Amino acid sequence: MSQSRQLSQVILVIIMMFFSAYGEGLAQNSYEQLAEKALSQAQADSLTEALATYQEILSAYPSDHRNPLILTNIGQILERIGQDHEALHQYDTALNTLPDNVPILTYRANLFLKMGNWERAHRDYSHILDLDPQHRQSLTYRAYIDMRQHHYEEAKQDYTKVLSLYPDDETARAGYAVLLQEMGKLSEAIQQLSVLVEQHPERTEYLVMRAEIEAANSQPELALYDLDKAIEKDKSNKDYYLKRGYLLYEGRKYRAAHADFEQAVKLGVPRDTLKNLLKKGK
């Protein structure tokens, strides 16, 4: 074979390699550009357009290894527009390819929880915790499911674990306080709520929760103090006036109770629902 012919073949191979690499680069950029476009559309709440762009990606690149993430993004958009069952199908399909992907498992578990399918949610959270024993959200939500199903000891294990790892976790501590209340451990529940009151002084609901447990724990004066503080911070909450009014009424402080009931009426409580209680303390 002549030198010139060999050189021509080498040049041809180089040209073919160049165009092959160039073509792959174009395909790579097209996939990424479409994905970025869909993300921008979703962030701008152009959800129909984002779904169409994601579908375009799947149609153009049906075998791309990143497609499970595209399916997950589609699932999140479908959740946002209230199509939960369709979203679940997308997560299922993504997990067929990536069965141990913790973020996708978390999306599906949270959706099962929202849909009231506690058994499937519990199963997914347990799977996540097998993969990541310190997964914060899975510990918290599995504990919640166990509590709702009266599996109190299992719930307590998860709540105490998540709080040992993440002592500032507000959701877990509030859930643990409710669990302790349901278990009849009122003093311990009050302790957990006291931590929340200290950590979140602006959250009046924790003062009211603590007041309710203090009242159940035969500590009416402490309960009244907490309700006073809650009303001081939120004077427009009719429920707080009702709760304090009932507590004052039970303590035979009828005049003060009447004043709270009247204020609750001004804030929107139907007078007929309180007519018997309003008779005293005028």
Report d(CA 231, CA 189) in Å as an integer: 22
Q: Does position 124 have pLDDT exceeding 80, yes or no?
A: yes
Q: Is the pTM of this model over 0.85?
A: no
pLDDT of residue 10: 40
Number of H helices, E strands in the chain: 14, 0
Buried b / exposed e over 128-156, threshold 16 CB at 10 Å, is: bbeeeeebebbbbbbbbbbbeeeeeebbb
For residue 252, give every residue at least 6 positions away whose Cβ sits within 8 Å of its Cβ, in sequence order, or none: none
Alpha-carbon distance 282 to 265, whole Å?
Answer: 15
pLDDT single digits (tens) 221-277: 999 999 999 999 999 999 999 999 999 999 999 999 999 999 999 999 999 999 888
Residues 68-118 pLDDT 10s: 999 999 999 999 999 999 999 999 999 999 999 999 999 999 999 999 999
pLDDT 10s digits, 141-197: 999 999 999 999 999 999 999 999 999 999 999 999 999 999 999 999 999 999 999
